[in-house]
Structure 1
Amino acid sequence: MIGYPSAATLRELETELLRYFRLRVPAHVDPRDLVAEVWVAMADYRGRASHRTFAFRVARLRLADYYRYRDEVDPLTSSKYWPASEPGPSSLVRRLRERSSLWRAVEKLPPAFREVARLHLQGVGNFEISERLGLHYNTVRSRLSRALAKIRAELDQAGLERS
């Protein structure tokens, strides 16, 4: 039977998690948000390790997701890739075609890869994808890697440039 930790244990664990995140994220990031994500994931605790071990495993994965996705931008909508002035109609049409080609490539993926790729392109992190789809974290990483390779190949075959 899975036991629940005492309130004192949870307070101590929260203090340790806050310290862990404060030392590893920039000052403008509120570590309480990351700790909250750990608490949400604790609902999946099955008793295979101590509460502390499980919480810090989740914390490491959340931290990895934070750094993996903090600087990512959608190249089709980010101002970083658009000129300072408003784009002309021809560039808007080209962008729409590129986006359309991207989603067509996603639809051609085998079902096992399609949903992982779809969620990734919507900005969902790997850990959350694994939770939503009930897959192991490493399975999500593997499927996403393969899906992106297939999408790149499809876009290359269609003659579209990748950024």
Structure 2
Amino acid sequence: MQERAVDDGKQTTAQIFHEYYAALVGYACKFVDPQTAEDLVQDVFIQAHNKIPANAGSYLFRSVHNKCADHFRRLAVHKKYVEEVLFVQEELAFFNPDTGHTSLLEAPESSVWAAIEQLPPKCREIVRLRYEQGMKTPEISTVLGISSRTVETQLYKAMKQLRNVLKRAHGILLNFF
């Protein structure tokens, strides 16, 4: 590791590293596993090399905190992508033109339809008109005699409730709604 020039009594990067490394890893371990903590702290030192200000302690602890938060954001994005891929794989596995099944939504025994049956009556009716009959928001509002905004609000509430029910039932976040 290159050392920062010593001027005005400032510590070198190596000295700062040796002084704070253990404490920073300990701090990061509050959020992540020890190996990840070491990796994140090392990343902070690599990115901050020769840029560490005079208040090194607070700067480094804040940097490690931010690095841990970034780590969790990346994990969340990865998890969402994996869940979407799993759903697509499940959907593809279900697709069978010989039996007429082209979507999980078309399966009468589907947990999606079971979850729809748990919705309040008005929400359920709107969801059925939208997904069984393929109606658009203005058509649904005309048929039911309610405003388009009410239809959109009811669909939003229904989709939110269905995601929660299906997430618990399958452990899969369905993003096709």
TM-score with structure 2 length normalisation? 0.39
TM-score with structure 1 length normalisation? 0.42
Larger relative CO (CA 8 A, sep 6+): 1 or 2? Answer: 1
- Structure with larger Rg: 2
